[in-house]
Amino acid sequence: MAKVAIVGYGNVGKGVYEATLRNGDIDLCGIISRNPARVEAELKDNIPIYLQSDILEGKDFLDADVAILCGGSKSDLPEQGPAFSEIYNTVDSFDTHANIPSYFKKMDEIARSKEHSSVIGAGWDPGTFSLNRVLADAFIPGCIPKGFYGMEKRGGLSMGHSDAVRRVENVEDARQYTHALNDAINRVRNGENPNLSPGEMHGREVYVVAEKGADRERIEKEVVTMPAYFEGYKTEVKFVSQDDLERICYGMPHDGVVIAVGETGDGNKASIEYRNQWESNPEATGSILVACARAADRLYNESQYGAFTMLDIPPAYMSPHSREELLSRFM
């Protein structure tokens, strides 16, 4: 049994909680939160709840093999990742793609110095999509694997981008939907291997609940120019009431596809597509984080210290099955 702690009980934390109920070799031994009273009221379970500052300051201790960090990438994880990797093996879903190399380096230095194992960027993009881009590139030399998100008419709800908008001053709540652009998808599927910018592949739709009297023009400008999130995309910002937000933005669906097209020989075309559809984006991320927590525990027990991504981890380390089961059922 791998003993895990959930750090942060928002949407992703709740997704991790659900995943622990479905993995018999994972023992949820506690939840660490900035607001334990809120978590206790929402959870209505006997899981121990700890104040985050008490854990980080050494005033309290939770005996766990792996801490699953469920904060947002814009503000939470850059602080939580290094802090918790000094105490525990960790797993997180850091998803600001442009900052992954620097975040990995920092986490690797701390984890190695403390002889811990930390898996970063675990989710479906980065994460499973990253893995499939690498495999497609290896199997079809010369292809340019592309990832598209929000294939359905409604689009896909991005938790990271929604969180980033909620951090804008005078924003009470927000949801961001990503829409894949069909023209770009068709060009890739047709084998053009175009060098597309992110803004040529996706559009972004943002619903914002602003505080009464807030400067909406400033909020919109701050959103559409936000580096690494909205800058360079066609972004539509819509101001709505909280009631309208709940009515329009029900559920948390997301989906996507990795497409790679090329040739394996003289004129012999080849294509690879990897698709996933999630009715609950946070539960999907939570399930992947739990699988990677299993891997982090195994890496640690083998004295493999430092930072890892899903590109570095053998798939068998993420599976609950024995080698014999993997060979007989999945090969």
Same domain membership, residue 162 and residue 232:
yes
Q: Say yes or no: 55 and 158 in one domain.
A: no
Same domain, 287 and 193: no
Q: Is residue 188 part of a domain?
A: yes
Answer whether residue 146 is part of any domain.
no
Q: What φ, ψ does residue 87 adopt, rounded to 5°?
A: -110, -40
On whether residue 143 sits in a domain, the answer given is no
Residue 110: predicted pLDDT:
98
Q: Cα–Cα distance between 154 and 147 in angstroms, integer?
A: 18
Per-residue pLDDT tens for 61-70?
Answer: 999 999 999 9
pLDDT in tens, 269-281: 999 999 999 999 9
- For residues 27-52, average pLDDT: 96
Give residue 192's pLDDT band: very low, low, confident or very high (50, 70, 90). confident
Neighbours of 180 (CB within 10 A): 21
Domain boundary among 202, 237, 252: 252
Mean pLDDT along residues 190-208: 93
Q: In this predicted structure, what is the pLDDT of residue 267?
A: 87
Q: 141: exposed, middle or buried (C-beta count within 10 Å: 0-12, 13-18, 19+)?
A: exposed
Q: Determine how many CB atoms are found less than 10 A away from the CB of residue 238.
A: 13
Is there a contact between 147 and 125 (Cβ–Cβ < 8 Å)? yes
pLDDT at 250 over 90: no
Task: Say how far apart CA 105 and CA 199 lie, in whole Å.
Answer: 28
Tell me, what's the pLDDT at 201? 97
Q: Look at residue 91 and give its three-state secondary structure.
A: strand
Percent of the chain with pLDDT over 90: 94
In a domain, 224, yes or no: yes
pTM of the model: 0.91
pLDDT surpasses 90 at 284: yes
Q: With respect to residue 68, please indicate whether it lies within any of the assigned structural domains.
A: yes
133 CB-near residues (< 8 Å, 6+ apart): 145, 147, 258, 260
Q: What is the pLDDT of residue 139?
A: 97
pLDDT tens across 1-37, in order?
999 999 999 999 999 999 999 999 999 999 999 999 9
Same domain membership, residue 107 and residue 12: yes
- Cα–Cα distance for residue pair 156/151, rounded to 1 Å: 7
Q: CA 205 to CA 207: how far, in whole Å?
A: 7
What are 106-119's pLDDT values in tens digits? 999 999 999 999 99
Q: Assess whether 120 and 9 both reside in one domain.
A: yes
Under the banding of pLDDT at 50, 70 and 90, the label for residue 101 is very high
Instruction: List Cα–Cα distances, 71 to 62, 78, 92, in angstroms.
Output: 18, 9, 8
CATH of the domain at 119: 3.40.50.720
Residues 244 and 305 in one domain: no
Residue 36 lies in a domain: yes
pLDDT of residue 226: 97
Domain membership of residue 105 (yes or no) is yes
Show the 3-state SS of 17-64.
HHHHCCCCCEEEEEEEECCHHHHHHHHCCCCCEEEHHHHHCCCCCCCC
Q: Both 161 and 239 in a single domain?
A: yes
The predicted pLDDT at position 6 comes to: 98
Average pLDDT over residues 297-315: 98
Its domain, for residue 230, covers 153-252
Residues 76, 104: contact at Cβ < 8 Å? Answer: no
Distance separating alpha carbons of residues 312 and 141, to the nearest angstrom? 20
CA 179/CA 254 separation, integer angstroms: 10
- Together in a domain, 297 and 224: no
Asked if omega into 36 is within 30° of 0 (cis), the reply is: no
Residues 70 and 170 in one domain: no
Helices (H), the chain: 11-20, 36-43, 52-56, 77-85, 100-114, 128-139, 159-166, 182-189, 198-201, 216-224, 242-248, 281-301, 315-318, 323-329
Q: What is the CATH number of the domain that holds 173?
A: 3.30.360.10
Residue-level pLDDT at 251? 87
Domain count, the chain: 2
Is 257 inside a domain boundary? no
d(CA 2, CA 277): 28
* 208 and 110 fall within a common domain: no
CB proximity list for 168: less than 8 A, separation 6 or greater: 174, 219, 222, 223
Q: Is the pLDDT of residue 44 over 90?
A: no
Q: Are residues 204 and 294 in the same domain?
A: no
Q: What is the mean pLDDT of residues 141-148?
A: 94
Q: Which amino acid appears at position 243 of this protein?
A: D
pLDDT at 194: 87
Note the pLDDT of residue 193: 83
